[in-house]
Amino acid sequence: MIRTLIAVALLSSLAACRGEPSKLPPIHLNPNMDTQDKYKAYGESKLFEDGRTMRPIPEGTIQHGASRADDALYRGRDEQRATEADEYGPFTAEWPEALKLDAALMQRGQQRYNIYCAPCHDQSGNGKGMVVLANAGLTPPPSFISAEDPNAKRIAAMPVGEIYDTIAHGKNTMPGYAAQIPVEDRWAIVAYLRALQRAQNIYTARN
């Protein structure tokens, strides 16, 4: 009988607690990391001698992205001609001063071009790469080398910065390759593309 009464009392107490609101915080039998001591901005610290939670910036620290202040190299833009409407300026027609145009860069450009560009543009630049030939419904890219193709002349007239920007961010149906191709390699591809155009007398240096 006593056991029965105890069981009834326990069940009654549990039933009474069900759904009852409480303003007290919940009991955490295993708090883990629910409550953590942490520093907040402009707070006080007893650990550091100056009493501040915010630490001074280490000497030599630079702002994120500040190392890429060369707009000509990293953006293909002429920052000297920037305006309020165009903060980076127009595409540069000159090769970045930080870039060394030599045989090594050209060879690198040929290698990277054959890897990333030739599947669609073909190794010769005629716009009939294996991806295009294997997909009949795919709009072929413009030719870089055909004297009869107005697109080839249009690309030949592009400033080098615009070609660099196209490689980085894409244009029309072409995706951008900024994630796959580093900055220097993009310029190497531009240099090799100019070599393909000059070999077919599509592009003539302006200087």
Q: Note the pLDDT of residue 29.
A: 73
Looking at the whole model, is its pTM more than 0.85?
no
Q: Are 194 and 200 in contact (CB under 8 A)?
A: no
Q: Are 72 and 164 in contact (CB under 8 A)?
A: no
Sorted by where each begins, the domain ranges of the chain are 113-199
Provide the 3-class DSSP secondary structure of residue 52: strand
Q: Note the pLDDT of residue 59.
A: 86
In whole angstroms, give the CA distance from residue 165 to residue 110: 18
Class of domain 113-199: mainly alpha
Is residue 149 exposed (0-12), middle (13-18) or buried (19+ Cβ within 10 Å)? middle
- What pLDDT, in 10s, does the model give residues 75-127? 899 888 888 878 878 999 999 998 999 999 999 999 999 999 999 999 999 99
